[in-house]
Amino acid sequence: MRELKEDRSLREHIRSATRASLDRAVADSEASYAKRLGWYAIVRIRRPRLVVETGVDKGLGSVVLAAALLRNAEEGFPGEYLGTDINPAAGYLLQGPYGSVGKILYGDSIASLRTIQQPIDLFINDSDHSADYEAREYAEVAAKLSPHAIVVGDNAHATDKLLEFAERTERRFAFFREQPHEHWYPGAGIGLAMSSTE
Ligand SMILES: C[S@@+](CC[C@H](N)C(=O)[O-])C[C@H]1O[C@@H](n2cnc3c(N)ncnc32)[C@H](O)[C@@H]1O
């Protein structure tokens, strides 16, 4: 997590790409990574070959995950990022060196997930936050997960769909609760479903 916080190249990239974007009036050029610090740590520790994130928005999660994959590659463990988003303008941050390790599949997430052929080592659900859609994403990727894959849910503070998925597929469930400092929002968190031998 400290490695990400101290990554000045990534901060500079986010600043300049945000200022050059059509979103510059509504997007913070100084990024707060929040729960993405946890996503980064998972990628650095597990060195996945394929990371899939559903719901890209500006691409903050994308570049954080790509930064982790680039560091892994420097250490001899290359990996690839795939993001999905229904908004054709999503993902403007995923460019330059960060864009070299991944791409965005545009369209409905479930349809995009269907096209993925390789085993997924880290799956992050962060698209349509309705409980039903979240559950459909887990069902869609279930057969594509590698044996020790980690499934991250961005909705685990609000629904029990990741817990249900973990129980149904005999995985362990954990929840890492975010506690925003001096902010009105009570916080979301990182839901995790992982192999029961982890
Ligand atoms: C919460 S944002 C994603 C934030 C991003 N993961 C991050 O780390 O900054 C949710 C995104 O999901 C996208 N989305 C909503 N419904 C979708 C769907 N059915 N298929 C694909 N993307 C969808 C939205 O366009 C939006 O960009």
CA pair distance 191, 155, nearest whole angstrom: 7
To the nearest whole percent, how much of the chain has pLDDT over 70? 99
Protein residue with least CA distance to atom 11, ligand 1: 55
Q: Is 134 in the pocket of ligand 1 (CB under 6 A)?
A: no
Report the b/e string of 101-111 with b at 16+ CB within 10 A: bbebbbeebbe
Give the mean pLDDT of 146-159.
97
- Rounded to the nearest angstrom, the distance between the alpha carbon of 28 and the centre of ligand 1 is 18
Number of H helices, E strands in the chain: 7, 7
Asked if 198 contacts 182 with a C-beta cutoff of 8 angstroms, the reply is: no
Q: What is the pLDDT of residues 82-94, one digit of tens each?
A: 999 999 999 999 9
Using most ligand atoms within 8 A of CB, pick from 10, 53, 126 the residue to mutate for ligand 1.
126
Domain ranges of the chain: 34-195
Band of residue 100 on the pLDDT scale cut at 50, 70, 90: very high
Residue 28 to residues 14, 94, 176: CA-CA distances in angstroms? 9, 16, 25
Give the mean pLDDT of 169-185.
94
Q: Right CATH number for 34-195 from 3.40.710.10, 3.40.50.1110, 3.40.50.150, 3.30.470.20?
A: 3.40.50.150
Higher pLDDT, 143 or 29: 143
Q: What is the pLDDT of residues 2-37, one digit of tens each?
A: 999 999 999 999 999 999 998 888 888 888 999 999
Is the predicted pLDDT of residue 198 greater than 80, yes or no? no
For 146, the token pair is 């590698």
Give the mean pLDDT of 56-81.
98
For 159, the token pair is 């629904």
